[in-house]
Chain A
């Protein structure tokens, strides 16, 4: 079985969010980039499937050479092969289209993305890929078992879990639950050494035009000071929630 895991290179959660070029671009200065956490849950699952399903696992990202350390880390975690599509990740549409183009030349039975990236939180890429390729699609995926070309999977829904079945090929939006945080694989020295020998191919971009453009970023208005209420004056708190904030 052939698995592709799509990796997004995102600013670490604790990064300071600042903008440059007249507030039209994210300021990468001094920002630590990590594998998007939701992608990492998916990658771990894929690496497990090398044993359980005799799968071969490729990882792909759309980005410039600064994204390569992240791909090397994926190889150290256990992916067999990495592909970098050499293009700026302009928007979800252009990223999805680049990956779709790649998937038209190399066939995958299973494509795993994170349910959303932690920078733009759009959750678009897995659905777009599935829609363009006309593959089955599940997101918020918390369980996945594949046997003889059939997938049994589960999706977290509001207030519960939905179980479903479908044929391959399938696109999955992964999240915590598919594997647990404690399952995430921390690369060991052997893995890191082996990763250096594994192929990291650079593919030429098809130069897809973006369809969305960030004209201007801005930060939320500064928050006012917290209003503290003494713990023996809860009537005042209820009054504030009821009459000032009007939320109860």
Chain B
């Protein structure tokens, strides 16, 4: 019996979520008394996971698996599940991981639960806490089935160092045939993405126009943050759709979410609720967002933001 972690990487390097999922899997494996195996694809630094608890490291080097697809990756993971007597698979909550997890659960006829926020409170029966109703509630959920797949909410457990045995293993795979081919990937380079960012700087209609976004971008740059926006802003074409966060946009689970000139409609809050700390800057003291915030500044964004940038730079 073993715990398997799918360790996500990008351009050959582990993603931040890989350390969190490994840390979670290690703690879980100690609870059930088993080893932790991690699998990565075309990753050059997967041995870094030894410090976070990896007992066995399988890195699949295969030029046909350069592009992630849920079908090819879950097929390889299924082969490892079969050979290694896996009872639990740990994934992150990234868009790719959720894409993979549900399909993997279908082909292996296993039980998948996403948005898990804590270690299981009990192993037999297996009960975990997951968020639901767009983070307005949690559920203690009992999971049945011989093979269980869990997606861990990002930033819910954190990365914790804990040495594992660190044996590097070779694993021969049988390639899967599929008509599903990735033809092209368009990515903005250089910018921190909303999914990976520790800090997200988000702005709304209070900014008055797209020409004023330079100060949002500058604040984001000073903080190493990703930029985001509210739905009206993306609807009006001030900012690209890819920056829209909220219920029908991208979810945010950053450590710090800064909302500037966003009133805080319930649909917006639904998407950003799982961020740990929320700072709201708004000139309207009645803005509903202040009720959901940890820190607030009532003031004119056009004065507060430049001042804040200056003070952060001189730190």
Instruction: Please list the residues of chain A having a beta carbon within 8 angstroms of any beta carbon in chain B.
Output: 11, 13-14, 17, 19, 37-38, 92-93, 96, 118-132, 134, 136-140, 155-167, 173, 175-177, 181-182, 211-220, 223-224, 226-231, 234-235, 237-238, 240-241, 245, 247-248
Alpha-carbon distance A138/B183, docked complex (angstroms): 14
Q: Which residues of B contact A241 (CB under 8 A)?
A: 256, 277, 279, 295
A and B contact pairs by CB, cutoff 8 A, 30 listed: A13-B266, A118-B270, A121-B115, A123-B98, A124-B102, A137-B180, A158-B194, A159-B195, A163-B182, A164-B180, A164-B181, A166-B179, A166-B180, A213-B144, A216-B139, A227-B294, A228-B290, A231-B303, A231-B304, A234-B297, A234-B304, A234-B307, A234-B308, A234-B311, A237-B308, A241-B295, A245-B277, A247-B277, A248-B223, A248-B256
Q: Which residues of A contact B235 (CB under 8 A)?
A: 181-182
Known contacts: A156-B95, A229-B296. The answer to whether A119 contacts B133 by CB under 8 A is yes
Of B41-49, B80-88, B185-193, the segment with at least 4 beta carbons within 8 Å of chain A is B185-193
Q: How far is the CB of A155 from chain B (nearest CB, A)?
A: 8
Q: How far is the CB of B14 from chain A (nearest CB, A)?
A: 15
Alpha-carbon distance A134/B193, docked complex (angstroms): 32
Contact: B140 with A216, CB < 8 Å? yes
Chain B interface main SS type: mixed
Alpha-carbon distance A228/B136, docked complex (angstroms): 24
Q: How far is the CB of B7 from chain A (nearest CB, A)?
A: 16
Beyond A214-B139, A231-B299, 19 additional pairs, beta carbon < 8 A? A11-B133, A120-B133, A125-B102, A130-B106, A131-B102, A137-B180, A140-B95, A158-B96, A160-B186, A162-B185, A215-B141, A219-B138, A228-B290, A234-B304, A235-B311, A241-B256, A245-B277, A247-B255, A247-B276
Q: Which residues of A contact B299 (CB under 8 A)?
A: 230-231
Contact: B179 with A13, CB < 8 Å? no
B134: Cβ under 8 A from any A Cβ: yes
Alpha-carbon distance A161/B216, docked complex (angstroms): 23
Contact: A220 with B183, CB < 8 Å? no
Contact: B198 with A247, CB < 8 Å? yes
Q: How far is the CB of A175 from chain B (nearest CB, A)?
A: 7
Chain A interface main SS type: mixed
Alpha-carbon distance A137/B74, docked complex (angstroms): 12
Instruction: Please list the residues of chain B having a beta carbon within 8 angstroms of any beta carbon in chain A.
Output: 67, 69-71, 74, 94-96, 98-99, 101-109, 111-115, 127, 131-145, 178-188, 191, 193-196, 198-199, 223, 235, 241-242, 244, 247-249, 255-256, 266-267, 270, 276-277, 279-280, 290-300, 303-304, 307-308, 311-312, 315
Q: Which residues of A contact B134 (CB under 8 A)?
A: 13, 118, 121
Contact: B96 with A157, CB < 8 Å? yes
Contact: B181 with A123, CB < 8 Å? no
Contact: B315 with A237, CB < 8 Å? no
Q: How far is the CB of B112 from chain A (nearest CB, A)?
A: 6
Alpha-carbon distance A234/B258, docked complex (angstroms): 14
Chain B minimum-CB-distance residue to A168 = B179
Chain B minimum-CB-distance residue to A166 = B180
Q: Which residues of A contact B276 (CB under 8 A)?
A: 245, 247
Q: Which residues of A contact B270 (CB under 8 A)?
A: 13, 118
Known contacts: A119-B132, A212-B142, A245-B256. The answer to whether A127 contacts B99 by CB under 8 A is yes
Q: Which residues of B contact A175 (CB under 8 A)?
A: 248
Chain B minimum-CB-distance residue to A213 = B142
Known contacts: A131-B104, A247-B198, A247-B256. The answer to whether A212 contacts B111 by CB under 8 A is yes
Contact: B106 with A127, CB < 8 Å? yes
Q: Which residues of A contact B248 (CB under 8 A)?
A: 37-38, 175-176, 181
Known contacts: A136-B180, A160-B185, A163-B182. The answer to whether A128 contacts B132 by CB under 8 A is no
Q: Which residues of B contact A219 (CB under 8 A)?
A: 136-138
Contact: A214 with B140, CB < 8 Å? yes
Alpha-carbon distance A17/B136, docked complex (angstroms): 7
Contact: B137 with A220, CB < 8 Å? yes
Contact: A160 with B188, CB < 8 Å? yes
Contact: B105 with A128, CB < 8 Å? yes
